[in-house]
Structure 1
Amino acid sequence: MAETPLRTVPDLTGMLIHAGHVLETQLTAALAEIGLTPRMQCVLVYALEEERTQIQLAELAYLDKTTMVGTVDALEKAGLAERKPSETDRRARIIAVTPAGAKAAADGQEVVDRVHGEALAALAASQRGPFADALAELVGGPLATPVEAQPVRRPRRRT
């Protein structure tokens, strides 16, 4: 049997994927208690910042078109947002947050802050700031933009 290769640096991919998954499940459970999903919360917050189209919101929230449509449908059904013509471009439709949606976004932000605060509380107080700063530096720098990558395909077999 071949020998396992020796790691020379920590497995950042594995650790970040695992931590992200666990944090997302915790956040999903906490937001569900107030009737939101992380996607709904994200869309509400970005839509409150400024007038944005569904496509713009999808890009900011890292949602594909189908998921975005379902998320906005759920927000509309709950009375938290509505699709409206843009005030600056009548051809475009924006996602407008209702007063109930603004309240839900504020409540949701409290939940998000609590969940993130609980995660950071696992670190010593002196480590929290430097950890968040280092992560922000990675996300804003070398990990800011995904590279375009094609899945490796097997060559077709000739028959």
Structure 2
Amino acid sequence: MTAMTPPTRTQPDLSYLLDHTSHVLRTQMAEALAEIGLTARMHCVLVHALGEERTQSQLAEIGDMDKTTMVVTVDALEKAGLAERRPSSTDRRARIIAVTEEGARMAERSRRIVDEVHEKALGALPEDDRATFLRLLDHLATGHLSTPAPGPAPARRARQRA
């Protein structure tokens, strides 16, 4: 049996490049946040619950988490004393996720860690190219690659910006 020759690539493998770099960045972020006992999801909830009253469902949407993952994440934040479920001040039927004082301090620590991980990643690029890279990546994320194509089984979406 003779080996067949694979087709000649005419374009860079964009899927691989985006997937691989995203995977590596997530592992670096997970390692850095683990040093203070947080996950990226916990960081996301803390940061987005600080600015305004948000329900668990709203935070799940912002962090692109399913209901089960969100419940587990908020449970962990409550157990750590970083957040708590409270009645909404505007809708007594709704419950919001309120960040405790310790949670606010932890959110600031985690924000510095996230910024540092991002800065290290961008630091691998020539300084003159960083702004262009971010602008073009944002253009893809908010334009052509902002909405997944419909399909029989939805692909797991990447987490929204924290």
TM-score by length of 2: 0.90
Counterpart for residue 88 of structure 1: 90
What's the offset of the Cα at 1:48?
Answer: 1.1
Counterpart among 71, 74, 77 of residue 76 in structure 2: 74
Q: In the aligned structure 2, how far is the partner of 1:138 from the partner of 1:12?
A: 12
AA partner of residue 134 (structure 1): L
**Which consecutive aligned stretches of 4+ in structure 1 deviate over 6 angstroms post-superposition?**
none
What's the offset of the Cα at 1:13?
Answer: 1.1
Counterpart for residue 143 of structure 1: 145
AA partner of residue 48 (structure 1): L
Counterpart among 116, 119, 143 of residue 117 in structure 1: 119
**Does residue 41 in structure 1 map to residue 38 in structure 2?**
no
Q: In the aligned structure 1, how far is the partner of 2:91 from the partner of 2:151?
A: 35
Q: Tell me the SS of whatever aligns to 1:94.
A: strand
Counterpart among 129, 132, 149 of residue 130 in structure 1: 132
**Does residue 11 in structure 1 map to residue 10 in structure 2?**
no
- CA-to-partner distance for each residue in 1:16-60, whole Å, 9 max, x for gaps? 111011000000010111111101001111111221111111111
Counterpart for residue 160 of structure 2: none
Counterpart for residue 154 of structure 1: none
Q: Tell me the SS of whatever aligns to 1:83.
A: strand
What's the offset of the Cα at 1:7?
Answer: 2.2
Question: Is 47-56 or 23-32 further displaced after alignment?
Answer: 47-56
Q: Unpaired segments of 5 or more residues in structure 1?
A: 152-159
- CA-to-partner distance for each residue in 1:113-149, whole Å, 9 max, x for gaps? 0000001111110111111111111111111121221
Counterpart for residue 155 of structure 1: none
Larger RCO: Structure 1 or Structure 2 (Cα < 8 Å, ≥ 6 residues apart)? 2
AA partner of residue 37 (structure 1): T
What's the offset of the Cα at 1:93?
Answer: 0.8
Count of residue correspondences? 151
Q: Pairwise CA RMSD of aligned residues? A: 1.0
Q: In the aligned structure 2, how far is the partner of 1:149 from the partner of 1:40?
A: 30
Larger Rg belongs to: 1
Q: In the aligned structure 2, how far is the partner of 1:24 from the partner of 1:148?
A: 26
AA partner of residue 149 (structure 2): V
